[in-house]
Amino acid sequence: LIFFTALVNSLSMGMIFFCSPIVSIFTNIFGCRKVAVGGATVALIGLLSSSFARSLGPLYFTHGILFGCGCSFTYQPSLVILGHYFKKRLGLVNGIVTAGSSLFTVTLPFLLNVLTAKVGLYNTFRVLCIFVFVLFLAGFTYKPLIPSAKKSGEKDKFSFPPVKTIFHFSIFKITSYRIWAFGIPAALFGYFIPYVHLLNHVEERIGKGVQEETLLLCLGITSGVGRLLFGRIADYIPGAKKVYLQVISFFFIGLMSMMIPLCYTFGGLIAVCLFMGLFDGCFISIMAPIAFELVGAQYVSQAIGFLLGFMSVPMTVGPPIAGKLRDHLGDYNVAFYLAGVPPIVGGIVLCFIPWVHEKEKSKEQASPVDGETMEKMLEIKSTSELDTSVKPGKESESVI
């Protein structure tokens, strides 16, 4: 039972990332607004359908796949749209925006306990549809300043944009991005294990008399603080050296995961969750700024999309494997120990990115400018000029 319930949760979270490469293509074609609104619609349908499911089987589709896909189509445009408006303070803005999820991490556990106790699980799903409907309305506020592929190359209403404007596989020619895109998923095999299984572990280790929701409260609060704090710090770190913040965050996330089985008191678990939440916020808030540094604003949508797509596999398989280990071994100790290894190893791999990125930049500056390189430079230059020309007056002061 623990394995199958963990599979439902991880499937929903994993689909958010698994669909990201597809979302990036849709974002390039139709723009952030249409994709975000369409995704919120699908998520609303999935969550409402889950309220009528009476077994785990239908929930795999309605909550795990349908709701997860809808959230994916809503989530990624919220990261991409920020790059249309902000450059200089992109880290801080990402911290502020992503801190919203921390706010709901803090409040939702208490709200869900009250709702499930008073109206039951199925009506709780229906109440949560209100929040998804707010996402639907919020999507209409997105006003992209960089034209989508369809707008920049369309000849008529029903024309399809050229393939090369949709699939930007050329970003994988950038070695620093390749290391980043494959190093982060390697570090995330145990990322979701504490979030999915921590409360069950507390009940088994300490008992049911404690307020397990306090741990989620600690995670949410310090994660919000970390997103604001490290998002602002990232603005002061030049270029690809921002990756070092992710290296530090992965090291502490891995260390704190290994510390969970060693905590036999509730106070110890609170301390672990406070540190884990802080560096989790660091990892999340600087993901988009690093993507902008490695590939540029024009290709950031697919850069983030491919990364999140690669992340879906380790983030999905981790919690079910931990549940399987719990069913066989009788406790979560081994699962938490193993969950701490990938972040540390992945962090070591990411250490090479700033060096590789600087080496690539030096090589480009030293190499002769051929026709293809000149065309690419002119394309990037025209994109940057477009960014400057379409900014609102007040906002352009903050991005220069």
Answer yes or no: is pLDDT of 20 > 70. Answer: yes
Name which of 75, 63, 76 is nearest 28 in CA terms: 76
pLDDT of 88: 73
Q: How many helices (H) and strands (E) does the chain have?
A: 21, 0
pLDDT of 9: 56
For tokens 């066989």, what's the residue? 328
Higher pLDDT, 146 or 182: 182
pLDDT of 42: 92
Answer yes or no: is pLDDT of 133 > 60. Answer: yes
- What average pLDDT does this structure show over 263-291? 87
pLDDT band at 390 (very low <50, low <70, confident <90, very high): very low
Which are the contacts of 273, defined by CB distance < 8 A and separation ≥ 6? 198, 215, 218, 219, 222, 256
Largest CA distance in the chain: 71
- Among positive and negative, which fits the CA dihedral 5, 7, 12, 16? positive
Answer yes or no: is pLDDT of 330 > 70. Answer: yes
Which are the contacts of 46, defined by CB distance < 8 A and separation ≥ 6? 62, 63, 65, 66, 67, 68, 69, 70
pLDDT of 148: 56
> Do 251 and 194 contact (CB within 8 A), yes or no?
no
pLDDT of 108: 76
Name which of 57, 59, 76 is nearest 16 in CA terms: 76
In the chain, % of residues over pLDDT 70:
80
Higher pLDDT, 10 or 66: 66
- What average pLDDT does this structure show over 116-145? 86
In this predicted model, what pLDDT tens digit does every residue of 311-329 receive, in sequence order? 878 877 888 888 888 888 8
pLDDT of 374: 40
In this predicted model, what pLDDT tens digit does every residue of 27-64 receive, in sequence order? 878 888 888 899 999 989 988 988 888 777 787 788 87
Give residue limits of the domains in the chain: 2-142+169-383
- Torsion, Cα 123 72 322 57, to 10 degrees, reads 50
- What average pLDDT does this structure show over 126-135? 89
Answer yes or no: is pLDDT of 385 > 90. Answer: no
In this predicted model, what pLDDT tens digit does every residue of 154-164 receive, in sequence order? 544 545 555 55
Output phi, psi for 264, to 5 deg: -105, 0
pLDDT of 180: 92
Higher pLDDT, 26 or 298: 26
Q: Encoding tokens for residue 34?
A: 């249409």
- What average pLDDT does this structure show over 231-250? 89
Of 1.10.287.110, 3.40.50.10860, 1.10.3720.10, 1.20.1250.20, which CATH number belongs to 2-142+169-383? 1.20.1250.20
Q: Name the packing angle between helices 90-119 and 213-235 (round to 10°).
A: 170
- Torsion, Cα 272 277 280 286, to 10 degrees, reads -140
For tokens 């560096």, what's the residue? 279
Q: Encoding tokens for residue 153?
A: 């190359």
Answer yes or no: is pLDDT of 371 > 50. Answer: no
The pTM assigned to this predicted structure is 0.70
